[in-house]
């Protein structure tokens, strides 16, 4: 039932933003009673935190474990965030990103949780066996690109998409 509730929260975040996440709306969307919802999540804040945690855990599952070959974590960061070819905004891959971005307006506790994930990931990037400045530059470029795609802020498309991704890949390979 927990996943069904979190799926409903994601759909509501995507369609209406964080303001649309209300306990009664989530219960209705998930097809559960309000009491059933409250059994798993005591508040709107807990719902937003649950979505963030689940999204971050899914992203983490796509990343290689510590001790992988040099550059593996940085390369996986690129691969998990930016597809090989340009895809339309609001694809299934971007849906979770939209929910994550909307969830960031869930308050300081949610942002603190996201920061903890990023601190861990940045340490892994810096210890990935590459020059730490190059690996961090790739992470920051990917994060900016991801944000441009997410907000439709003139993200690179088509040939430019492929060329930028190829250059980032080359940076990783040459630093390994």
The CA-based angle 107-109-114, given to 5 degrees, is: 100
Residue-level pLDDT at 29 = 97
Has residue 90 got a pLDDT over 60? no
Tokens of 145: 């690109």
Q: Rounded to an integer, what distance in angstroms lies between the CA atom of residue 46 and that of residue 173? A: 41
pTM (2 d.p.): 0.81
Which residue in 115, 140, 123 sits closest to 73, CA to CA?
Answer: 123
| pLDDT range class, residue 106, cuts 50, 70, 90 | confident
Q: How many whole angstroms separate alpha carbon 50 and alpha carbon 129?
A: 33
Q: How many CB atoms lie within 10 A of CB 161?
A: 19
156: helix, coil or strand?
A: coil
Q: Is the pLDDT of residue 55 over 70?
A: yes
What is the predicted pLDDT for the residue at 23?
Answer: 96
User: And the tokens for 160?
Assistant: 């430019």
Indicate if the pLDDT at residue 92 is higher than 60. no
For 170, residues 6+ apart whose C-beta sits below 8 A from its C-beta are: none
Higher-confidence position of 152 and 35 = 35
The span from the CA of 142 to the CA of 150, in Å, is 12
Q: Does the pLDDT of residue 96 top 70, yes or no?
A: no
% of the chain with per-residue pLDDT over 70: 90
Average pLDDT over every residue of 158-168 = 94
């Amino acid at each position: 039932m927990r996943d069904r509730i979190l799926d409903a929260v994601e759909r509501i975040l995507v369609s209406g933003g964080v303001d649309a996440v209300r306990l009664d709306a989530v219960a209705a969307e998930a097809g559960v009673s309000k009491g059933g919802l409250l059994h798993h999540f005591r508040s709107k804040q807990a719902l937003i935190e649950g979505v963030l945690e689940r999204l971050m855990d899914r992203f983490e599952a796509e990343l290689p474990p510590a001790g992988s070959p040099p550059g593996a974590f940085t390369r996986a960061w690129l691969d998990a965030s930016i597809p090989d070819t340009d895809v339309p905004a609001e694809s299934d891959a971007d849906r979770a990103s939209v929910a994550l971005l909307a969830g960031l307006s869930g308050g300081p506790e949610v942002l603190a949780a996201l920061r903890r994930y990023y601190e861990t990931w940045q340490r892994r990037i810096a210890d990935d066996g590459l020059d730490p400045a190059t690996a961090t530059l790739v992470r920051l470029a990917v994060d900016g690109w991801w944000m441009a795609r997410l907000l439709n802020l003139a993200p690179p498309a088509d040939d430019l998409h492929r060329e930028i991704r190829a250059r980032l890949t080359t940076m990783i390979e040459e630093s390994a």
